[in-house]
Amino acid sequence: MRRLLRGPSLLAVLAIRGYQRSLGRLTGGRCRFHPTCSEYA
């Protein structure tokens, strides 16, 4: 059963990393929410 779940999870990780390296760079890697929660803390 674990072997069946490994494929989809690997694809999800690769998709996220691909987004981070391509489209994520276009947004500048910053938080789109302003003010951020950390500013309230």
25: its two tokens: 């760079």
Average pLDDT estimate for 11-17: 91
C-alpha 17/C-alpha 24 separation (Å) is 9
The vertex-16 CA angle with 11 and 19, nearest 5°, equals: 125
Please give the pLDDT value at position 38. Answer: 65
Q: Could you report how far apart the first and last alpha carbons of the chain are, in Å? A: 43
The number of folded domains in the chain is: 1
Q: pLDDT tens-digit profile of 17-34?
A: 888 888 777 766 666 666
Band (12; pLDDT cuts 50, 70, 90): very high
3: its two tokens: 């072997």
pTM (two decimals): 0.51
Average pLDDT estimate for 2-25: 82
What range defines the domain where residue 28 resides?
A: 2-40
More confident residue, 1 or 19: 19
